[in-house]
Amino acid sequence: MEPPKDKWNIVLLIFILHGIGTLMPWNMFITAKSYYVGYKLGGSENSTSVSNYAANFLQYHGFAAQIPNVVFNWLNVFLNLGGDLKKRMSLSILVELALFVLTVVMAMIDSSNCSGAFFWITMITVVILNMAGAVYQNSIYGMVATFPFRYTGGVILGCNICGLLVSLISISSNYIFSTTRTAAIYYFITAMIVLVLCFDTFLGLPLNKFFIYKELSRKADDNENVKNSDIPYWSIFKTASIQLLNVFMIFFVTLAVFPAVNSDIKASSADFFIKDPVILTSYWIQWPGSKYLIIPVVLRLIFIPLYLFCNYLPMNVDRRLPVIIKNDWIYWIIGVLMAYTSGYYSALAMMYTPQTVEQNFQVKAGMFAGAMLISGIFCGILFSFLAPYLV
């Protein structure tokens, strides 16, 4: 019989939704900076510790989010954290939902007299959220690895859409509601709605014939792996190493300069950064091929010095490196090229990775790619802390 088709692209749309869901917690917290720093942590307590919490909120949040994210992404590759892929994903989403309920409750409570306690509860919430989010993200890349190219691209498209969607939610909630407290409550409730949709659509996937066909194929491969021998993790990693390096390098370069360096460049429109739509190109054009993708990926390292030679003026830093790129249009062009290559090449690398190994190892290759993606982000963020010292 002919294999079933994805009628109306329902499975593809669900994977796009899950791409949004995987990054929703991270984006919700970093976009709510003004709520945490200006409202919750700028309360009535007149102490140094409270002001430090506010001043260093994003730095604390970055480490609280990314360290468990990296650790649990890699653990999820080698250990069955919570059972098979479907159980891991469903449990992760439920944990995230519970933590967003706690976040909404904390938004309702007046914490002006206990800012320190609020701060540490928030940090603990961020740590657990990113533990669950790491398992969720890594599992979705493993699951989609056995599907055609564009389904992996769909997950990445969802990840890119997520930042734009969260920004629109933030703007809308602040515009509609008159108080910061009410706006924050409905802002975080929106994230809960998205996660509920992710959970519901995930439960509905087994009713789709196309998804059932792909799942049966994947389970057959898994059973064959169990019968034959243990999973050859090193062999999979080595075979896919070039594409895994591509994934790591793309996200390392991007996070090394965006948003930390980009936000401190003094230009007439310093926030100009087109990022989200470019991923669509990879649906129709897969160039360069897997063999030569490493060349433009390595060349992207040039963006780091290019950004540093722009009018980059970090706070409390006496810049000594000369500013070579002073023209805003040149800066914009660099920004567009940076964004486009980030989205386009990351989609290609994530699509190519599972194709480099045998079919029965594609799930693990996809999970390795997810772990390398997060590792690239983490290392890029760490490198961004060096940028002020480099200038």
Q: Digits of tens for pLDDT over the chain (391 positions)?
A: 677 888 888 999 999 999 999 988 888 988 887 888 878 887 444 555 556 777 677 778 878 888 898 999 898 888 766 567 788 888 999 999 999 999 999 999 888 788 888 889 999 999 999 999 988 998 898 888 888 878 888 888 888 888 889 989 999 998 999 888 899 999 999 999 999 999 999 888 888 888 888 877 766 655 655 555 577 889 999 999 999 999 999 999 988 887 778 767 775 444 444 444 444 555 556 678 888 999 999 999 999 999 999 888 887 778 888 888 888 888 889 988 988 898 889 888 988 998 898 878 888 898 899 899 989 988 998 898 888 889 8
Distances (CA, A) of 327 to 104, 262, 274, 333, 338: 44, 15, 18, 10, 17
Domain 9-228 has CATH 1.20.1250.20: yes
Residue 260 DSSP SS3? coil
For the chain, give the number of residues.
391
Q: Pull the structure tokens for residue 235.
A: 């062999």
- Domains in the chain: boundaries: 9-228, 229-391
DSSP 313: -
pTM for the full predicted model: 0.78
Q: Would you list the DSSP string of 140-161?
A: HHHHHTTS-HHHHHHHHHHHHH
DSSP 301: G
User: Within the chain, what is the greatest distance between any pair of CA atoms?
Assistant: 73
Q: Cα–Cα distance between 299 and 388 in angstroms, integer?
A: 23
CB 298 within 8 A of CB 249: yes
Residue 85 CB burial class (10 angstroms; 0-12, 13-18, ≥19): buried
Distances (CA, A) of 130 to 63, 72, 75, 135, 277: 11, 8, 13, 8, 26
Residue 378 DSSP SS3? helix
